[in-house]
């Protein structure tokens, strides 16, 4: 899928080999004539027939890893046998279909409402890296996840509602929400904006007239409730079980679900080889912008930083390594991938019930009609 609801629509076995599904189907079709007995024999006046002659011939080089991966996915009951026919006996397409099914089974429809993400199955993290030559059989693969656009969430209405439940509930909500997502993807929030302002102050330090510069008032847009000490998990669960207001109860229960789902797997650590490939990259792009109010100072800082985020290729948000010839490696990779998907789906469902966020839907359900979709670029 080219978005997280279409994750896996790009499968790349190495540098310079990233194409769409349709292009890949065409890429392996023979453009010449197949060798076959199509002429009548002797004095017979038989019309040439194509019975028994293959209608399509394919040539593919370096597909050992794709074939091994497809076979192992089938053995692990991750892939379905019937999809082999749908894939037209193409191992790469078969893997793509399997990824699509995996996403759908782990919340794909929910994810695409609030997040615009895509995934790539690739043999390299940087197509220009010299380390690509050290993976001749393509067995070393990475499943990476990146945002195409940033999602958008407004926090203040939710915090005002929760403050009526408990003075420490608002800061607890933000901490749990952001931490759960930051386990896997990057959230740009007030702390990033504070770092931005601190950096701007450093830039003008020593200037003859530093007062001539204006800085975003990030501190002024942070609610007072965010200065409180956050609650722990046990206390939050206790409050969620006792609260009477239906909307507040739903918010806290969904928050607890998100927190627990995000902890069901551990983020893969970068190896020395991976760090070497990524040594010339920028930080990952934000998958979500979290502001207190629309067009506040946090959003302003994000818009300024967004101008330079792509000056250098950004590091993928999630990197899940796997070995195409190692069943346990593949099993663990798909488990982790599933947890990432379930986390993003849980976050999307939570944002759906957060007051003040009705407008910021990226892709609406089929049954919803009318209204332009909006998102953050």
Write out the chain's pLDDT in tens, 377 residues: 333 333 333 333 343 333 233 332 333 233 333 333 333 344 444 445 555 555 454 444 457 888 999 999 999 999 999 999 999 999 999 999 999 999 999 999 999 999 999 988 888 887 655 555 555 556 789 999 999 999 999 999 999 999 999 999 999 999 999 999 999 999 999 999 999 999 988 887 767 776 667 889 999 999 999 999 999 999 999 999 999 999 999 999 999 999 999 999 999 999 898 998 888 888 999 999 999 999 999 999 999 999 999 888 899 999 999 999 999 999 999 999 999 999 999 999 999 999 999 999 998 765 454 444 444 43
Q: Taking Cα atoms as reference points, which of 184, 218, 229, 210 lies closest to residue 305?
A: 218
Reduced to 3 states (helix: H, G, I; strand: E, B; else coil), residue 229 is: coil
How far, in Å, CA of 164 to CA of 158, rounded? 10
Burial 108-119 (b: 16+ CB within 10 A, else e): bebbbbbbbbbb
Q: Are 289 and 149 in contact (CB under 8 A)?
A: no
How far, in Å, CA of 116 to CA of 89, rounded? 31
Composition of the chain by helix, strand, coil, percent to 5: 45, 10, 45
Kindly state the tokens that stand for 210.
């530093």
């Amino acid at each position: 899928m080219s978005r997280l609801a279409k994750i896996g629509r790009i499968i790349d076995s190495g540098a310079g080999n990233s194409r769409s599904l349709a292009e890949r189907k065409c890429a392996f079709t023979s453009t010449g004539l197949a060798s076959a007995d199509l002429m009548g024999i002797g004095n017979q006046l038989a019309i040439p027939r194509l019975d028994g002659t293959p209608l399509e011939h394919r040539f593919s080089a370096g597909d050992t890893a794709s074939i091994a991966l497809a076979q192992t996915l089938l053995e692990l009951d991750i892939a379905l046998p019937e999809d082999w026919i749908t894939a037209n006996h193409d191992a790469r397409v078969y893997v793509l279909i399997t990824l699509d099914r995996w996403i759908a089974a782990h919340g794909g429809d929910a994810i695409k409402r609030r997040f615009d993400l895509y995934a790539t199955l690739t043999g390299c993290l940087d197509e220009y890296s010299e380390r690509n030559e050290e993976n001749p059989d393509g067995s070393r693969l990475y499943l990476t996840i990146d945002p195409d656009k940033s999602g958008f969430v407004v926090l203040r209405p939710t915090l005002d509602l929760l403050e009526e439940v408990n003075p420490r509930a608002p800061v607890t909500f933000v901490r749990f929400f952001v931490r759960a997502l930051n386990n896997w993807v990057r959230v740009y929030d007030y702390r990033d904006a504070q770092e931005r302002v601190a950096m701007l102050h450093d830039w003008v330090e020593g200037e003859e007239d530093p007062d001539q510069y204006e800085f975003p008032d990030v501190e002024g847009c942070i609610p007072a409730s965010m200065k409180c000490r956050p609650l722990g998990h046990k206390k939050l669960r206790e409050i969620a079980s006792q609260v009477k207001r239906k909307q507040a109860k739903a918010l806290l229960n969904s928050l607890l679900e998100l927190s627990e789902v995000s902890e069901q797997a551990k983020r893969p650590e970068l190896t020395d080889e991976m760090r070497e490939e990524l040594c010339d990259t920028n930080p990952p792009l934000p998958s979500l912008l979290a502001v207190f109010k629309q067009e506040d100072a946090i959003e302003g800082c994000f818009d300024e930083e967004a101008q330079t985020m792509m000056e250098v290729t950004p590091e993928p948000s999630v990197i899940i390594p796997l070995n195409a010839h190692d069943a346990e490696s593949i099993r663990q990779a798909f488990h982790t991938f599933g947890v990432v998907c379930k986390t993003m789906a849980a976050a999307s469902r939570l944002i759906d019930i957060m007051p003040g966020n009705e407008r910021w839907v990226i892709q609406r359900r089929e049954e919803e009609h009318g209204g332009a979709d909006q998102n953050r670029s």
